[in-house]
Chain A
Amino acid sequence: MKWLMNLWQTLNKPAKYLTLGSISLTAFVMGIIFWGGFNTALEATNTEEFCISCHSMESKPYQELQQTVHWSNHSGVRATCPDCHVPHNWGRKIARKMEASSDVWGWVFNTVNTSEKFEDKRLEMASREWARFERDDSLACKNCHNYDSMKWESMSKLAQKQMKRAAEKDQSCVDCHKGIAHTLPDMGTARAPQLIAEVGTGPSKFTNEQYYFSALTKPLFFSAKGDVEAGTLNVATKVKILESKENRVKVSISGWRKQIGAGRVIYFDFGINMLTAQLSKEAAKTEGVINGFEEKEDEMTGLKWQRVETTLWTDAEYLITEQQPLWDYARTTFRSSCSVCHTQPDEAHFDANTWPGMFQGMIAFVNMDQDTQALVQKYLQQHSSTFVKKEH
């Protein structure tokens, strides 16, 4: 503490022996040295050598890049890691450098040091990178690729149409061009990590006779212990918990089924093709699994429908107490995914039985995992003209 007091006393008085000239000169020179050094350090962390000095970056993303046009092409220009992954604007660059502290964390604790760990985290990491590109309007791409410099004539008719529309909106490139420099994460089989991050995995204890909602498409089982699957419970479906046993809960699912075949598909309501659960043939035939009630005939199709209640077991996870967070996530996903190519229609523009066809026809154009697909489709049906009175 004493040296600090001494220092303060010296600093607080005009210099007696050092001249103003020598002080300002040293300050000036040190300023130059410091700023030069700072920028050199900043540049050094902005080189590809620095990026791939980590094994996890060298072994996966760098190797994958070498298979793409961004590594080698007829014009001999190539993109290095920082060209795409570090914003070029100074403020954002500094922010990205601070953000990289979490990369250091990952490096210290070996978060992605093996191929398996890397693949497990690939979707999460890719999603983060896509979010960053979207936030920056793909500025990193646009440092080289410019809508104004595109030669429309040398594009195919379809490419022209898509590109011109994107140019009009100055759209972010990765909206469509995902997985062009590194391998695309497995979107089809992943269990919607972003959705779960948003809505949570649900409570650890359940109250009997209370209603819960499935946050993912879940397997159904015959018993509390066995591995024999009895079917699947659709996402965002309301179930009543009857009983909890270790890692399973007994749920009651109500809905309607068509009186055709084994009648193993349960729908949300009479005459509405909104999936609630799909049972296996075996389950549908097993006594006591499905309890049938009153029947009604659908005049449109001539099909007989029957109100049913099903009791089966499912894992005690991904059952959440509220449905609204699921709809919120679905709405955001619907709005952002569909508006990439066209103005998305109003949810209440179609009815509940029209939406699946419309939605399935478009799904090939976007990257959506199966759980999210099912959720968005259900969201659209639940908010369609069937349930929402349009204000006209």
Chain B
Amino acid sequence: MTTKQIDQEESKKRKRKELKALGFIIVVLFPMLSVFAVGGYGLIIWLMQIFGGVTPH
């Protein structure tokens, strides 16, 4: 293999890595984090309602 071919191979690999990373973040990681964040927000309000002067009936 020539140096040029090696470089091309490297850049292909790199490009695939970048695409994979982008896909992972956008499809898996960030949606999951968003759901957790919203869920956590809901949980905090719920807990506040439980402990913060909610008179049982």
Contacts and interface: CB of A to CB of B under 8 A. Distances in A.
Given A127-B57, A134-B57, A16 B14 contact: yes
Given A95-B49, A131-B56, A18 B43 contact: no
B26 A7 contact: no
B14 A27 contact: no
Interface in B4-25: 11, 14-15, 17-22, 24-25
B34 A34 contact: yes
A7 B27 CA distance: 14
B42 A30 contact: no
Contacts of A23: 22
Nearest to B54: A135
A383 B42 CA distance: 42
Contacts of A332: 55
Interface residues of A, number: 32
B56 A7 contact: no
B18 A17 contact: yes
A156 interface: no
A115 interface: no
Contact of B57 (A7, A17, A194): A194
Nearest to B27: A30
A131 B14 contact: no
B29 to A, nearest CB: 9
A68 interface: no
Contacts of B57: 127, 130-131, 134, 194, 336
Among A27, A94, A96, A97, chain B packs the most CB atoms within 10 A around the CB of: A94
Contacts of A226: none
B45 A92 contact: yes
Q: Is the interface of A mostly helix, strand, loop or mixed?
A: helix
A294 to B, nearest CB: 45
Contacts, number: 77
B41 A27 contact: no
B56 A127 contact: yes
A6 B56 CA distance: 53
Contact of A10 (B11, B18, B26, B30): B18
B26 to A, nearest CB: 5
A98 interface: yes
Contacts of B1: none
A16 to B, nearest CB: 6
B21 A34 contact: no
A153 interface: no
B54 A95 contact: no
A26 interface: yes
A15 B15 CA distance: 9
Given A18-B18, A96-B42, A131-B54, 11 more contacts: A7-B24, A16-B11, A17-B18, A34-B31, A38-B34, A38-B35, A91-B45, A94-B39, A95-B42, A95-B49, A194-B56
21 contacts: A7-B21, A11-B21, A11-B25, A16-B18, A23-B22, A27-B26, A30-B27, A30-B30, A38-B35, A91-B41, A94-B39, A95-B42, A95-B45, A96-B42, A97-B42, A98-B42, A127-B56, A131-B54, A131-B57, A134-B55, A336-B55
Interface of B: 11, 14-15, 17-22, 24-27, 30-31, 34-35, 38-39, 41-43, 45-46, 49, 54-57
6 interchain residue pairs of minimum CB distance: A94-B42, A95-B45, A98-B42, A17-B15, A95-B46, A10-B21
